[in-house]
Chain A
């Protein structure tokens, strides 16, 4: 599987319900907590900012078209304390495979639960 290929993995409720994430400010109401999506691609932007850390990346779909994706995780203070993240954790050009809950409205957005960064799994810390 090439890093730039787009892979969807939809898993059953029972597999993901036990680790329900809880985000400051808008919770998880906008995300489908019964499904998990995994998308591989290239980082275009990393914003280490409140209220949630944001990751933007591009990935090719099965037709070879480039799709823009975005994902969010907890706030930067929590990610720094609990997972050792900083504004330098990711940069444009990095290769990522990102998993999480897809948005309910069908946009290319994920509540991120797991990241493989340049072949290494990132610490995600606790999720406040």
Chain B
């Protein structure tokens, strides 16, 4: 019996070592995405429509009646449909959440190891962690702004799956809604040493009648460092708004 236990422990231990070796080997043969990345275009996930001229196009964004009602209630501060009395939740310093944290004019630092991808977002000093050690999503995850993310390599592409969203933010800066049913799939691929392409698939049957896709291109900024952007500093704008009538908080 003791030998059986010993063999079992050794076997499990060796399996763990091999698993670690496998991760290390995979890390050695796949790109490392570490670096400071600046998203290109700051309003949408459609490079062909950066200002959201097609934001209400049902062939591009196939919304359910519930989704459409939410979309019509959203008043963006940016893009072709911008409104001087915006109700963008980030105007009140709610976090942008994932994936909207990519849709800002501010960069993100990727810190990439064999088992983790940490994303440190300049805007509002928020972070996100992608687990790449083979774990699954937890069964009892409480919904959050960023959700729960796991990743694995498919060839030269890192595929990240995220669930557990609270549905409280917008997907982009032109007001597209989402719900707690959102499942986000992100595919990261280095186009060249300085260009990172992210293709996103949005699966949210409560908000959209079918899956739809988006894209974001990032440029590496090797000479930049993260700066601090604390949203609450925006409230120093109150005096300016009072004096000028130029409002950004509803």
Q: Which residues of A contact B (CB under 8 A)?
A: 22, 24-31, 47, 49-52, 54, 70, 72, 74-75, 77-78, 80-81, 103-105, 107-109, 128
Which A-chain residue is minimally distant from B122 (CB atoms)?
A77
Q: A25 — which chain B residues lie within 8 A by C-beta?
A: 77, 88, 90-91, 234, 248
List 20 extra interface pairs beyond A72-B246, A109-B243, CB under 8 A: A24-B104, A25-B91, A26-B246, A26-B248, A27-B76, A29-B84, A30-B246, A30-B247, A51-B233, A51-B234, A52-B237, A77-B122, A78-B105, A81-B224, A81-B227, A103-B245, A103-B246, A104-B84, A108-B244, A128-B42
Q: How far, in whole Å, are A84 and B88 apart by their CA atoms in the complex?
A: 30
Q: Which of B78-97 contact A (CB under 8 A)?
A: 78-79, 82-84, 86, 88, 90-91
B236 part of interface (Cβ distance < 8 Å): yes
Tell whether B7 is near chain A: CB-to-CB under 8 Å: no
Contact A29 B244 (CB under 8 A): no
Interface size, chain B (Cβ < 8 Å): 32
Nearest 3 A-B pairs (CB), nearest first?
A128-B105, A26-B248, A29-B84
Does B127 belong to the interface (CB within 8 Å)? no
In the complex, how many angstroms separate the beta carbon of B168 from the nearest chain A beta carbon? 18
Interface centre among B79, B105, B231 (most CB of A within 10 A): B105
Q: Does B153 contact A (CB under 8 A)?
A: no
| B227 partner residues in chain A, CB cutoff 8 A | 77, 80-81
Interface centre among A29, A30, A49 (most CB of B within 10 A): A29
CB distance from A28 to the nearest CB of B (A): 7
Roughly how many angstroms separate A25 CA and B229 CA in the complex, as a whole number? 13
Question: Can you pick out 28 interface pairs between chain A and chain B where the beta carbons lie within 8 Å of each other?
Answer: A22-B42, A22-B78, A24-B42, A25-B90, A26-B77, A26-B86, A26-B91, A27-B77, A27-B78, A27-B79, A29-B84, A31-B246, A49-B237, A50-B230, A50-B234, A51-B234, A51-B248, A54-B237, A54-B240, A70-B240, A72-B240, A72-B246, A81-B224, A104-B84, A105-B246, A107-B243, A107-B246, A109-B245
When chains A and B are docked, how far (Å) is the Cα of A24 from the Cα of B104?
8
A109 to B248, CA, bound (A): 15
> Is B122 within 8 A of A29, CB to CB?
no
Residues A29 and B240 in contact, CB atoms below 8 Å apart: no
Chain A residues, CB < 8 A from B79: 27
Judge if B202 is at the interface, Cβ distance under 8 Å. no
Residues of A within 8 A of B84 (CB): 26, 29-30, 104
